[in-house]
Amino acid sequence: MLGKSSTIRMRGPRNNGAVHKRRVFFTVCATVLMLSLLSIYYSSFFSSRIHQKHEIHRGGGSSAENSDWDGSSKAVTIRPIKPVSDDVAANEDEKPDLNIESINLKEEHIIPDKEENEERPDIDETDAITEESKEEDGIEEVTTKTFPVCESKFSELIPCLDQTLQKRLKMKLNHSIMEHFERHCPPSEQRLKCLIPPPPNYQVPIRWPGSRDEVWQANIPHSFLAVNKSDQHWMELRGDKAIFPGGGTHFHDGADKYIANLGKMLKEEDGDLSRKGKIRTVLDVGCGVASFGAFLLPLDIIAMSLAPNDVHQNQIQFALERGIPSMLGVLGTKRLPYPSKSFDLAHCSRCRIDWHKREGILLLEVDRLLRPGGYFAWSSPAAYRENEADRQEWAEMTTLVKNMCWTEAAKEGQTVIWQKPLTSECYQEREPGTHPPLCSSVEDPDAAWELPMKTCITPLTKYNEDSLEPWPQRLNAPSPRLQDLGIMEKSYETDTYVWQQRVEYYWNQLKENGQISADSVRNIMDMNAHLGGFGAALKDKEVWTMNVISPSLKTLKIVYDRGLIGSYHDWCESFSTYPRTYDLLHAWNLFSDVDDRGCSIEDLLLEMDRIIRPLGIVIVRDNASMVNRVTKYLKGLRWDHWSKDDFEIIEDSLAHGDEKILMVRKRQWHAVETF
């Protein structure tokens, strides 16, 4: 028994060993087979995913089946759309006609054959990498930077007016005085280093003047104003468009009739609010969708339409989409970014501002901005209602304006118009201790970048209403405030002439190369405007210019004295506007200035890409080394450098020997989310 048992025990291990070997063999084979299949599968899967993420379809666009954006997915496919000029040229000898309502999406989204795009270099869509290459002439090695595309939830990002940032940084802001609507910029480490995508189904905006009355709703996919202001005729939705009937809270019969009535209140029998060119620049506070500003334009009046990014969703975005001068801003605690004596008239129609509170600080800011003899038109229930609250507000308001030496120019129905004094006599005759007091003479009334408002009256100077010519003579007449800056009239006149020549040259180059037409550009920004010569040279074109001046300079008041508009801004930060709001950006010596201050050229380029519209044009004029630096970013920004030759530098009094001109166009592309 023990022997048999021993034999069995001896055989058992031998038989089990054979079975074990067979099991191991089959297990290894099965594992190898499984790994092979997985390798094939995942290789195919990741290849297709990477290909899908980075593939470029020339001439493609967004499609309905790819428009499900929830803001959570990070992978995108870049689908650029060719500029109009590539599509509408009938043959090689015909210049493209950008006047065609040309971005026909059904045609534009067709992927063209390869031959159509052989001139266009391929773009490496790899996110956030650099690649070494050499220029064609072999002179210099360059590093090309590419950028990822931001998530779709950032398609309307305004970095310095981002209330989600305020919550993330746990800022303690006083909402009762509108601090949360003022600028609060992200620290450098929290800035997005990516390209802001357009919303799904974005189309090139409708051309001016048609855009005044209708825009593509897909470009600003918000319906709040159409629903909540339907009884006031701000905006209506019809099919795929947002329609603007020209109404408003206090002008149900249309802004044009309301404006004519204001003119008649100022003793103009024909209702001409411009008063033969004496009223040219207007500040419209709480402007809604800027219909007031839109209907001032036929009178040769230009308004800075101002409103915060508040509960009235995207009102300034709609205004800019319409082609109406406007920007984001609020009367809160800081001075508005404009110099003193900038506006001939300020306007508030149910703007929901308590002017009489906080010692009148907000109305005193308007007083700072009004020229001597300027007007403030206020349409408010307090001007006509008889209930106790409105009567109390009216009493406090009239006391305040009397102490400010304003006089009532007219009062009719819902509207009152007050006038600021032309001289200082009234201030000198006030009782001692009258509030508000006069500001100290050492205060700079023109300093207005990130500075607090003051509860005092800005003293008048020797320049009054009669110091300025009426419009349009005002445009090129030397401003009396030039002498404050030590600028000779001859230098000013030379500057005006030089910019007339430069703008004519730029425009001709753009036209000859099929990059521009009469109605393809409406909203223009001169990012380093100096005396406003660039914008002044565009007077006879159907455009308007936002003239941006560094806070360290004092020349913005000259821009306003010319009858133009603009803003102080520090280009180390983001501008107070929505993405995709300008058709053309002009940057003269801007990159050198920003670089000299130690700020990021890359951040500036990303900001320019944010605010320029698809198919928009960028003109850079700077020293050659700086332009060459900028050129290295063009592929990564998806900007087309359509001219293979350098532009001629014509010698003038503003030029220097090392200058170079770069003109580029931003491609239109759609980011399609992948999962």
Look-up: residue for tokens 């007016």?
161
Tally of domains within the chain: 4
Q: Which pLDDT tens digit goes with each residue over 246-276?
A: 766 667 778 999 999 999 999 999 999 999 9
Per-residue exposure over 458-490, b if at least 16 CB sit within 10 Å of its own CB, e if not: bebeebbeeebbbbeebbbbbbebbeeeebeee
Which of 302, 272, 213 lies closest to 539, judged by CA?
A: 302
Per DSSP, the residues of 168-226 read: HTT----GGGTGGGS--PPPGGGS--SBPPPPTT--PPPPTTGGGTEEEGGGS---HHH
Distance CA(519)–CA(24), nearest Å, equals 77
Residues 449 and 570 in one domain: no
Structure tokens at 612: 């320029």
Residues 457 and 507 in one domain: no
| End residue of a domain, out of 439, 467, 495 | 467
Q: Tell me the β-bridge partners of 215.
A: 242
Q: Tell me the β-bridge partners of 567.
A: 548
Which range among 20-24, 335-339, 362-366, 609-613 shows the weakest confidence by mean pLDDT? 20-24
- Containing domain of residue 344, as a range? 253-467
Residue 214 lies in a domain: no
Residue 644 has a pLDDT of 66
Contact 526, 552 (CB under 8 A): no
Q: Is the pLDDT of residue 28 over 80?
A: no
Residue 48 lies in a domain: yes
Residues 459 and 502 in one domain: no
Residue 460 lies in a domain: yes
Residues 547 and 500 in one domain: yes
Residue 234 lies in a domain: no
| Band (608; pLDDT cuts 50, 70, 90) | very high
Residue 84 lies in a domain: yes
Residue 30 has a pLDDT of 67
Which of 452, 545, 448, 536 lies closest to 499, judged by CA?
A: 536
**CATH number of the domain to which 285 belongs:** 3.40.50.150
Distance CA(266)–CA(275), nearest Å, equals 8
Distance CA(604)–CA(589), nearest Å, equals 13
- In percent, how much of the chain has pLDDT > 90? 66
Residues 352 and 388 in one domain: yes
pTM: 0.81
Residue 137 has a pLDDT of 42
Residues 668 and 524 in one domain: yes
Residues 489 and 433 in one domain: no
Residue 96 has a pLDDT of 35
Q: Is the pLDDT of residue 12 over 50?
A: no
Residues 137 and 261 in one domain: no
Q: Which pLDDT tens digit goes with each residue over 43-101?
A: 443 333 333 333 333 333 333 333 333 333 333 444 444 444 433 333 333 333 333 23
Q: Is the pLDDT of residue 586 over 80?
A: yes
Residues 118 and 20 in one domain: no
Q: Is the pLDDT of residue 121 over 70?
A: no
Strands, E assignment, 91-178: 130-134, 141-145
Residue 196 lies in a domain: no
Residue 650 has a pLDDT of 83
Residue 92 has a pLDDT of 34
Give the CA angle between residues 546, 301, 99 to the nearest 5°.
65
Residue 657 has a pLDDT of 79
| Band (222; pLDDT cuts 50, 70, 90) | confident
Residues 449 and 514 in one domain: no
| Band (132; pLDDT cuts 50, 70, 90) | very low
Residues 46 and 81 in one domain: no
Q: Tell me the β-bridge partners of 237.
A: 242
Residue 354 lies in a domain: yes
| End residue of a domain, out of 467, 498, 525 | 467
Section 162-191 average pLDDT: 94
Residues 496 and 550 in one domain: yes
Residue 567 lies in a domain: yes
Q: Is the pLDDT of residue 232 over 80?
A: no
What are the CA-CA distances from residue 98 to residues 62, 143, 189, 399, 666 (Å)? Answer: 21, 34, 41, 56, 15
Distance CA(419)–CA(470), nearest Å, equals 18
